[in-house]
Amino acid sequence: MSEMDIRAIVSQANDRWNAAFNRGDAAAVAALYTPDATVLPHTHAVVKGQAAIADFWAGLISAGIKEHGIELLDAQAAGDLAYSSGKWWATGSGEDGKPAQFEGTIVTILRKQNDGSWKLCLHTWN
C-alpha cells in the first residue's frame, strides 16, 4: 500500500472519529475501535474493550469537551496494521470553569478488518 493510500485511510478514520465525538455520540466513537482495543489516556489509565471505551468518551463528552480535531502528521502501514501520529485539539472548561483550549500529540494504531475497513486497536495521546 502506498503512503498516499494509507494517509487517506487514516485521514478518513480521523474524520469519522471527530464527527462522532463532536456530535456527542460515544457509542459511535467506540464502534470505530476493534472489540479488543486499548485506549491509553494521559492519565495513565488503561481502557480496554469497546464498552469501556464508550464509557470513557461519554465521560469526556458529558464534561463538556467538544470541537475535537486532528492534524495528521504521518501515517505508515505494514500488512494489516497502520500507525499514525498527529496533533489534536479540543475545547472545554478549565479547572476554573472558564473556557479552555486543550491540545497535544496523538499516536494511533489501526488494524484492517475482514470487511476491508480499518479500526483503531490502540490510541494514546498527551
- For the chain, strand residue ranges (E) read 33-40, 47-48, 66-78, 81-93, 99-112, 118-125
Task: Please list, residue by residue across 72-94, b when 16 or more beta carbons sit within 10 angstroms of its beta carbon and e when fewer do.
Answer: beebebeeeebbbebebebebee
Cell 473556557 sits on residue: 99
- Residues 4-28 have a mean pLDDT of 96
Summary mean pLDDT of the chain: 95
pLDDT of 95 reads: 83
Mean per-residue pLDDT, 69-93:
96
Determine what percent of the chain is predicted with pLDDT higher than 70: 97
Q: What residue type is 28 in one-letter code?
A: A
Q: How far, rounded to the nearest angstrom, does the alpha carbon of residue 33 sit from its chain's CA centroid?
A: 9
**Confidence label for 37 from pLDDT (cuts 50, 70 and 90):** very high
Q: Cell 472558564 maps to which residue?
A: 98
Asked whether residue 3 carries a pLDDT value surpassing 70, the answer given is no
| CA distances to 1, 34, 78, 81 from 109, in Å | 16, 11, 11, 7
How far apart CA 88 and CA 81 sit, in angstroms, is 21
pLDDT category of residue 88 using cuts at 50, 70 and 90: very high
* Dist. CA 89–CA 82, nearest whole Å: 22
